[in-house]
Structure formats: C-alpha cells, structure tokens
Amino acid sequence: MNLVSEKLLRLTQLRKQRPQYAEIYDFYSGLCEFLQDKDASWLDCSPELQSWPTRRQAGFPLLSRDAVQIDVPATNQFLCQLIDSLIELGKEGGAELQLVRQAFTSGQLASDQLLLACLEKNREPLEAAATAVEVPSALLEYVCSTALAFGLQQWRNRTPQPMLDDWQEGYCPTCGAVPSMGEFGGEEGQKRLHCSICATSWEMTRIKCSYCGNQESDSLEYFTAEGDSGYRVDICRKCSCYLKVVDSRELGEGLPMDVEDLNTMHLDLLAQKEGFAKGKIDQKS
C-alpha cells in the first residue's frame, strides 16, 4: 500500500472517531484521491552523496537548492490540476485560486522558483508573488508547499535513500523542514520525528526540545487531553514551543503523520491557548 492509500484508509477510520472533523477529513480525502494516481516525475533530486557524510556531521540536510531539478512545463500542468481539484473540493477561495492558476498558465509565476522558496523556507519570494497576483500569500504557499511535498515524497519512494544514522538535529535530514509530529515506538519508546514536507522520519533524544535543543528536564514538560489516549503534547518552557507526539505502542505502527496532525488540531488550540507555538528552526542549507 502506498503512502496516499494509507492516508485514505486512516481518514476512513478517523471519521468514525471524530465526526466533528468530517468536513476537514472529506477535504483531505478528496485531495488524497486526486494525488493517488498522479505522477511527480516533474521533480527530481541529485544530492551530492559523497560529500553528505561530512555535511551531515556539520548539520546540513541532504538536499540543497542546487540538488533539486524541476521541469517547469510539467510542474505548471500539475499545479493547474491541483488548483482545479482544490477549487472543486473547497467552499471558499475559488476566485483567488483561479487567479493563481492563470498566473502559472501565463508564466507570470515561476513555479520552480516558488517551490524552491518553499524548500528553503524563504517566504519573501512567495509574498512578492502573492502581492503581484493579488492573492493571500498563505494561499499561494499552501498550493506550492502541497506540490513540493508530493514531489519530494514521490522522489523518496522511487529513490534509495542514504543512511540517517547519528542525525540529532530537530529539522529534517533530507529537506531541512521542521517536524510535523513526534512518535514514540518500539519496546523502549524510542522517539522519532516526522518531517512535515518529505515524510522522512528520524530518531531524536527523548528528553530534548526539537526546536531549541534544550535538554534541561525541569523546563521540558508535556500535557495530555482527556479522551485522547495515545497522544500528548511536549512543551519547552525555554523557547515556548510545542510538538504533538503519537504513541504508536498504543495506536499502532505506520500511521501517516500528516493525518495524525489533522486529527489532533484541538491539541494545537490547547497548546496555543497556553502561550506555546509551533517551532521554527533556522537550519543550515
């Protein structure tokens, strides 16, 4: 079963558990169904594998801007299909999405540069492009980051990946993105982080903030919500950031973490109500 199929299966299970999220699950299921039979060969990567052991020790992720190749015409075609699907699935934002579609079709927006800006977490090109098209920057970023995530996940699925041993940074060893979720698994409850973009997972010291690196146990805490067995929120009082964590020993191995992120939106609200924020990392590139 591929990753998209796993997401659809999990969403079907969750509809029964949290009917109040049905509208969100329906939207994301529709997006997954759109992606299920799509090909992402318009994005390819050629990282420098010989130099990466040295780069890895210095904290540099595998992929840099120069390692990513994007076929612009094919990418534009995919983006237009993606936007058509989002318009069909959504109840709002259709007019703005049409403007974005027209801008990609006409060449007003450079799809390769915007996807690379998402890879580098550089918001300035996205904000400038959104201003030029007169759409919200968050909308344009969502379209581009969705395409980038799908392209990178497809690339990872078809390409043998290098070893990720000894990576202890709080950002992804493949693309440098922040984790979407944490996970406890295995007999000893080993902690793993899951990338929010390319779906790479990697081991992390359990008593450590994944954002600021704090390992002082007196400032690292967690909380749970009643009725949410198998989920918790790790908080760091040093940097005021939080990370949601799934315990796969209770909920099962192999859960698609972006779906679990959706399923725990109420935990985001609880953490943010207490003054904590999702972390941001100034990672190396």
Q: What is the pLDDT of residues 232-270, one digit of tens each?
A: 999 999 999 999 999 999 999 889 999 999 999 999 999
Q: Are strands 201-203 and 190-195 parallel, antiparallel or unpaired?
A: antiparallel
Specify whether the CB–CB gap between 28 and 262 falls below 8 A: yes
Specify whether the CB–CB gap between 96 and 143 falls below 8 A: no
CA dihedral 48, 120, 201, 63 (to 10 degrees): -10
What's the Cα-to-Cα distance from 106 to each of 40, 61, 125, rounded to whole Å? 21, 34, 18
pTM, two decimal places: 0.92
| pLDDT at 180 exceeding the cut of 80 | yes
| pLDDT at 184 exceeding the cut of 80 | yes
* Interatomic CA distance for residues 54 and 205, integer angstroms: 21
Q: What letter represents residue 45's amino acid?
A: C
* Interatomic CA distance for residues 49 and 164, integer angstroms: 12
Listed by start position, the domains of the chain span: 38-158, 179-278
pLDDT number for residue 281: 58
| pLDDT at 2 exceeding the cut of 80 | no
